[in-house]
Amino acid sequence: MSRLLSPLGLSLPILAAPMAGGPSTPALVIAAARAGGLGFLGGGYKTPQALAEQIEAVRAEGVPFGVNLFAPNPVPVSAEDYRDYVRAIRSEAARYGLPLPDGDPVEDDDHWTDKIDLLVANPVPVVSFTFGLPDRSVVAKLRKAGSTVVQTVTSADEARLAAEAGVDAVAVQASAAGGHSGTFTPAQLPPPTPLPELVAQVCSAVTLPVIAAGGIAQSGDVADALRAGAEAAAVGTALLRTDESGASAPHKAALADPAFDTTVITRAFTGRPARALRNYFIDHYDDIAPAGYPALHHLTSPLRKAAAAAGDTRLIHLWAGTGHRHARTEPATRTFARLAADL
């Protein structure tokens, strides 16, 4: 019996990983539950009101689900480095008539306190965190409210810290994952350890239930993760092209475009390391992009949105894991069925 899945009533050890910024729609979360698994709403970048509305939309369907938040772990950037980067990318913004800010970097905590208050007052089945480790008191409040608390980790050391904070489970994210790395130390990325090996390391370090994530795109990947000791596997990129995904049309198309054949880790878009399809923006700006989150995210966000609306894949953050070629245009339930084929 799974310590993690059984209490939630799940019949399939496959989860839809949270993908902030649009892909993780209520429809995708509901589809994951209908398939027997669990889906997560990506709470990052949303206002508390927008998150509350999505929670209620999923809750109305009577299915288990989770909410993921970005735990504050700021990466400060100097005003000088920030302004140098503004000047560097100004010509790209000018293509869309976008003025870039001349002031200081925008640093915020993504409405952290208000979102925690929302989840304590209106508990959801599962709450997960990434980027940083919340205070033990926050974990305790959520657990007292009835939520299972999951922490994203990228190493055995981070898993030990999560266990000390009192979480119920850890999501072990390998470097093959698409989008942002959940590492606690974004200036020093963890080594590219294969997911099964990383899962085994974490299972040896802590007694908590483990969710495996990062590069899972085929049924064999799921089976390998479970054999290594995980109780469930989380998939993200494999769901980006599904009917229920909220990823932009150019992002979905790029995942299958032979012109985009390489993924790289970059901080050019947000100032925090994330894996994406290599494109023009990465080639031209990754080497000069300073570390600085969330300042660079706020700086480039209007440009990325304008490019997405125009179908300009040169300037979009095309988040993708190493298994992106296995993402298909199909209902999410079919993707879940394919991933479960070897179980």
User: What's the confidence (pLDDT) of residue 192?
Assistant: 95
Please answer whether residues 4 and 12 qualify as being in contact, where contact means their C-beta atoms are separated by less than 8 angstroms: no
User: What's the confidence (pLDDT) of residue 3?
Assistant: 87
pLDDT, tens only, 195-210: 999 999 999 999 999 9
Which distant-in-sequence residues (6+ apart) come within 8 Å of 100 by Cβ? 86, 89, 90, 93, 299
236/221 Cα distance (integer angstroms): 13
pLDDT surpasses 80 at 242 = yes
Hunting for tokens 């085994």 — which residue is that? 200
Mean pLDDT of 297-322: 97
User: What's the confidence (pLDDT) of residue 103?
Assistant: 84
Stated length of the chain: 343
Mean pLDDT of 271-298: 98
CA distances from 105 to 50, 62, 69, 295 (A): 25, 42, 22, 5
Mean pLDDT of 167-190: 97
pTM: 0.96
Q: Specify the fold of 6-74+109-242+327-339.
A: TIM Barrel (3.20.20)
User: What's the confidence (pLDDT) of residue 101?
Assistant: 84
Instruction: Single out the residue of 168, 123, 124, 177 nearest to residue 150, CA to CA.
Output: 168
| Confidence band, pLDDT 50/70/90 cuts, at residue 1 | low
User: What's the confidence (pLDDT) of residue 225?
Assistant: 97
Which distant-in-sequence residues (6+ apart) come within 8 Å of 276 by Cβ? 178, 179, 263, 264, 266, 269, 282, 317, 318, 319, 320
3-class state of residue 254 by DSSP: helix
Beta strands in the chain (DSSP E): 14-16, 38-42, 66-70, 126-130, 148-153, 169-173, 179-180, 210-213, 232-235, 263-266, 274-277
pLDDT, tens only, 28-54: 999 999 999 999 999 999 999 999 999
pLDDT, tens only, 47-86: 999 999 999 999 999 999 999 999 999 999 999 999 999 9
Which distant-in-sequence residues (6+ apart) come within 8 Å of 149 by Cβ? 126, 127, 128, 129, 139, 142, 143, 166, 167, 168, 169
Instruction: Provide the token pair at 239.
Output: 């769901």
What strand order describes the sheet that includes 274-277?
A: 179-180, 274-277, 263-266
Domain segments of the chain as ranges:
6-74+109-242+327-339, 75-108+261-317
3-class state of residue 266 by DSSP: strand
Mean pLDDT of 128-151: 98
pLDDT surpasses 70 at 115 = yes
Task: Report the mean per-residue pLDDT for the chain.
Answer: 97
User: What's the confidence (pLDDT) of residue 2?
Assistant: 84
Hunting for tokens 């483990």 — which residue is that? 210
